[in-house]
Chain A
């Protein structure tokens, strides 16, 4: 019987190629989209799971408020790892990573440096913790001694080749000479250490040995014994404050007890976060590498489900509509003795058949667009063709889709009553049009929602990018790694300023784009106590900072090289006025200090000489917080304001200067506005992903509508013919055929606009600086939906209307 079902399925699909194409294509698009999203989510969920014992590895997080504002950190104090190892038998192993960022590295006998983007000081137990194997060298002793380091395969290949690296000497800029003691495989792409290429022994880092509980700079990982009781361990973490931190704090604040510490609203809460949760759930001020977000996973899951549901709905709709053509077949079969269940099986076979056709097409499409998708999502996903699990899931999912989409039409058709459908020979109405119409409404409602989402996301992005930032980001070139010019920063700056196109330049590590910066605790003169302390960012700049970045003073004055006391002066932003609780005029001359708790004669004060208008130095997601600028040394970069002419020539002139002052050092630069745009990468990607899937969903909805319109026109051929014979004009008839569909789109608009308005307002709440969802955005979405519907249906309607009535009537 099944063979027979299959044969009949094949014939009837072949007989209606247009219907089969619409159905297959619509499903395939939905499936391909969902497949890509599923691969993406699978990749996001796989982070750090490849490490041996990953389920037993935890990172110690710290939730801290000690003066200033509360902070959430993924880092712990220096003695944390050792203490946990010593005090808690449940901890099998503890290891520390101190992120060092980019380093310049070279072989001892050459002069030119190579920049490695990510390096870290790590304990010798690091490799054991993550179960990392070496390609060369001894993994147990590799990092036990000072001035040793381990390279990844890629890093080793740049200098020596994998097998010749061990035993070689290398020079790290500013850090000294190191011996390579091991070469390891590159870190997996889906791990939190994916970008790290150089691991330096912790004993090389002088501050790592001072037992200082106050610094929070060490990512501390622990591996628990398999039987560990995590609730019990949490209690242990809670007791650290009383046992270690308070005694340490007492050195600085004699007499402070845990009770008085807490009484002033302070806290330090440690917690253990599972290694495998970090990628999607951790959102600390600093992380070892950029993390994903659970929110995006949810959004994308919804989009995937939407797509499949849209495609399934499409299928149901087209199938029931086209079933009118098969009403006679059902009737005949029933009179010949077929029962309902047999017909249901027949129709399910047909939808299963289409689903598998779609599956093949979907996998093909996904394979073809994968490179584009990877580009869009910033991933390196591949389709796991060799994995039997992949196929099993895919086929399972297809069966589910087949059953979901085939069941309604199958039961719908199998219910046809022979005496009704066998009467006459034309296409009679078999009902179900209410369900079909609601499904079209549903499809369009989703499409309109997605259009609204896309419009709002793009508007917000546009708003962020064009918002008055309070500083000039255009035409500012930032030259990096200035600390490698051996104290020649000033001559570099002087030389650069001589170039005709360069207007001004400033030396500073602090630039107004979102990046990981931490605040510092300050107090007003005369208020040297915890309660009144304020937290603010403290930027070290030079005398040309305000002019180069175009910051605007609202009162007071800029730093002046001729006034020597300006080395201890600060300029604050407007937001600081509020935290200090002073007016702009009264702020000038006020003295502040960061030596909280020190005795009066040991305090260094800084005098406020000016107030700058608030500028957006951090993400638009955040409010502008307190910030002070002071004259500092050891700048990390040189920001150069250039004219708009001859940019390329100017850049190469700057490179020339760099090469004479710092021969052999890599010339790294970027433009400030690019960096600014990059910091909204997540929103940009979200916007792009939305628009792609919006187009897909609209496409699916259009396929469905087109199919219905075609069918409708066919079904009404006789009616149209009669109307024409009786004198109706073409426009009257096409109008009649089109308005039926437009009514459905109207309903979709009424349903979806309030939901879209609400949902997008919720999304915008994430931004401190945001647009409002405006009526024109909703209107635009509605208009687009109508336009799309008119275009889709109109063609069919007009075609039906211009057909020769004599022909169509004879056909009946």
Chain B
């Protein structure tokens, strides 16, 4: 078991009223799963993903990740945990515009204090695997959306995370580009055993996964 959410609640207070963003979420994810989260706009998909990614907190419930109880951890510990095991892929890529492709890839490694030679080897390996060696000296703005997302996925993967969280990774891409990214996810999941949780609006994309979770008004249905 990779992670487990038990009776997770998240709310905000607005005008004396408590508005629930997540209501009683119970979810268990095994290593090697490929999960798609679906639901109408505003149903809490991104919120859930952020909670799983430990970027956001929750108000009630328990969250176990591997052997750790996330809900009892200090922020510093939490960030060490996600640094170590989780990679993020965003809808709008969020590559750093000032950095070249290979520098974008290198960045997570810097934060994990890999040596220079190791970093070079790992970046070269990633460039190879994603077939973007020729683009390594370009800046993000010089790439197409699909290529940018390719780099985004490569960046999420470079430090060998156990879990990839992707919030509408193909939301900004055309259908052919989407297809490529989804194929890539599938391969990663099947060949490398990477656990993936993706948010998507498309039934077609959801079909790549092994399980679908539906959200409505912050509740799993």
Residues of chain A at the chain B interface (Cβ within 8 Å)? 1, 4, 8, 11-12, 15, 328-329, 331-339, 342, 418-419, 422, 425
A336 touches B108 (CB 8 A): yes
Given known A8-B99, A419-B56, contact A339–B94 (CB-CB < 8 A): no
Given known A339-B79, A419-B55, contact A332–B96 (CB-CB < 8 A): yes
**Is B107 at the interface (CB under 8 A from chain A)?**
yes
Bound CA–CA A4/B50 (angstroms): 29
Which residues of A lie under 8 Å from residue B108 when comparing CB positions? 336-337
Which residues of B lie under 8 Å from residue A334 when comparing CB positions? 55, 79
**Residue of A whose beta carbon sits closest to that of B112:** A337
Bound CA–CA A329/B95 (angstroms): 8
Which residues of A lie under 8 Å from residue B107 when comparing CB positions? 333, 336
**Residue of A whose beta carbon sits closest to that of B139:** A11
List CB contacts (< 8 Å) of B138-174 with chain A: 155, 159
**Residue of B whose beta carbon sits closest to that of A3:** B116
**Is B90 at the interface (CB under 8 A from chain A)?**
yes
Of B55, B94, B155, which is in contact with the most chain A CB atoms at under 10 Å from its CB?
Answer: B94
Bound CA–CA A4/B90 (angstroms): 24
User: Of A1, A4, A328, which is within 8 A of B94 by CB?
Assistant: A328
Bound CA–CA A335/B92 (angstroms): 14
**Is B186 at the interface (CB under 8 A from chain A)?**
no
Which residues of B lie under 8 Å from residue A339 when comparing CB positions? 76, 79, 83, 111
Which residues of A lie under 8 Å from residue B90 when comparing CB positions? 422
Bound CA–CA A422/B90 (angstroms): 9
A8 touches B76 (CB 8 A): no
Bound CA–CA A778/B55 (angstroms): 53
B98 touches A4 (CB 8 A): no
**Residue of B whose beta carbon sits closest to that of A425:** B92
Bound CA–CA A1/B50 (angstroms): 28
Bound CA–CA A329/B107 (angstroms): 12
**Residue of B whose beta carbon sits closest to that of A5:** B110
B55 touches A15 (CB 8 A): no
Bound CA–CA A342/B107 (angstroms): 12
A336 touches B155 (CB 8 A): yes
**Is B32 at the interface (CB under 8 A from chain A)?**
no
A335 touches B98 (CB 8 A): no
Which residues of B lie under 8 Å from residue A425 when comparing CB positions? 92
Excluding A8-B98, A337-B108, A422-B94, 14 further A-B contacts by CB distance (< 8 Å) are A8-B99, A331-B94, A333-B96, A334-B55, A335-B55, A335-B94, A337-B83, A337-B159, A339-B83, A418-B55, A419-B50, A419-B55, A419-B56, A422-B90
Bound CA–CA A335/B159 (angstroms): 13
Q: Which 7 A-B pairs have the closest CB atoms?
A: A337-B83, A337-B111, A336-B108, A11-B98, A332-B94, A335-B88, A419-B56
Interface string of B46-89 (1 = CB under 8 A from A): 00001001011000000000000000000010010011100010
Pairs A–B under 8 Å by Cβ, sample size 18: A4-B110, A12-B98, A332-B95, A333-B107, A333-B111, A335-B82, A336-B83, A336-B88, A336-B108, A337-B79, A337-B82, A337-B84, A337-B159, A338-B111, A339-B76, A339-B79, A339-B111, A419-B56
User: Of B50, B92, B111, which is within 8 A of A342 by CB?
Assistant: B111
Which residues of B lie under 8 Å from residue A332 when comparing CB positions? 94-96
B96 touches A329 (CB 8 A): yes
User: Of B79, B83, B98, which is within 8 A of A15 by CB?
Assistant: B98
Bound CA–CA A1/B111 (angstroms): 9
Bound CA–CA A12/B92 (angstroms): 21
Bound CA–CA A425/B124 (angstroms): 30
A335 touches B53 (CB 8 A): yes
How near does chain B come to A325, taking the closest CB pair, in angstroms? 10
How near does chain A come to B119, taking the closest CB pair, in angstroms? 10
Bound CA–CA A513/B88 (angstroms): 83
Which residues of A lie under 8 Å from residue B50 when comparing CB positions? 419
Bound CA–CA A334/B56 (angstroms): 12
**Residue of B whose beta carbon sits closest to that of A15:** B98
Which residues of A lie under 8 Å from residue B155 when comparing CB positions? 336
**Residue of A whose beta carbon sits closest to that of B53:** A335
Which residues of A lie under 8 Å from residue B98 when comparing CB positions? 8, 11-12, 15, 329
**Residue of B whose beta carbon sits closest to that of A336:** B108
Bound CA–CA A15/B96 (angstroms): 12
Which residues of B lie under 8 Å from residue A419 when comparing CB positions? 50, 55-56
How near does chain B come to A37, taking the closest CB pair, in angstroms? 38
Bound CA–CA A329/B98 (angstroms): 9
